[in-house]
Amino acid sequence: GQARIDGFTISGSKAGGGIHVACGVGALVIRNNEITGNQGGYAGGIAAGIRDEGDPNIANANLVVRGNHIHKNGGTQGAGGIMLYSFNAGYLVEDNRIEGNFSRFNGGGIAHVGECAGDNVIRNNEVLFNEDFFGAVLNGAGDGGGIFVGSVTLIDRATGQPIPATGSGNVTIEGNLIQGNLSGSGHGGGIRADGVNGQDVAENPDNTDPRPPPETDPPNWYELKI
């Protein structure tokens, strides 16, 4: 059946964040919760789609995060508020108030990192006064005070050179109020997009599209719609 985390106040975490969703969870609904005063490595508020050793190689299909108040949380290696990793597929984040969260990495309010299958939607949220650490010494940190959308870039151990990024999958950001957020030492106080396309373009380099002009982007390339 469908699992729900509904109507709780969740606070006081010092390591795991408020809610931690690994992978292989189908149609989980997280709604009507107050998530405040938590700290976590992956995220301060909600971390979803993290595959640990021994977990099934299955994405969280159709995750819904709706109507929560997520505030005053802190992420050390991930988002302050909500972190969406690559083991999610077709998530919906809507009607949340995400405010006053802090990240030492990317995504003060919300971060989508990695290749998520399906159509992923962030809509009708209030993303207010979130912050990325100013003066971050971590490589590539400090981007996306409000929302960060990006892929995972790996390093070839033999050459030390970056491997083409995975891309992010398809993401739509619509109808949100994004205000008063700070990107301390990086880019994108409101929204930062970094590596939305990657391996999808490398594997399909030809601009071949059966649709008539002016629709010229190949349908097998990932799209970020704002």
Q: Tell me what the pLDDT averaged over the chain comes to.
A: 90
DSSP for residue 152: P
Sheet holding 19-21, edge to edge: 19-21, 46-48, 82-84, 110-113, 147-150, 191-194
pLDDT digits (tens, 9 = 90+) for 124-174: 999 999 999 876 555 668 899 999 999 876 667 788 776 768 899 999 999
- SS3 state of residue 99: strand
Amino acid identity, position 176: N
- Give the residue ranges of the chain where pLDDT is below 70: 1, 135-140, 153-155, 162, 164, 207-219
Task: Say what the pLDDT of residue 217 is.
Answer: 56
Task: Say what the pLDDT of residue 214 is.
Answer: 54
Task: Say what the pLDDT of residue 137 is.
Answer: 58
Q: Are 115 and 161 in contact (CB under 8 A)?
A: no
Task: Say what the pLDDT of residue 185 is.
Answer: 81
Q: Are 47 and 19 in contact (CB under 8 A)?
A: yes
| Torsion angles phi and psi, residue 74, rounded to 5 | -135, 130
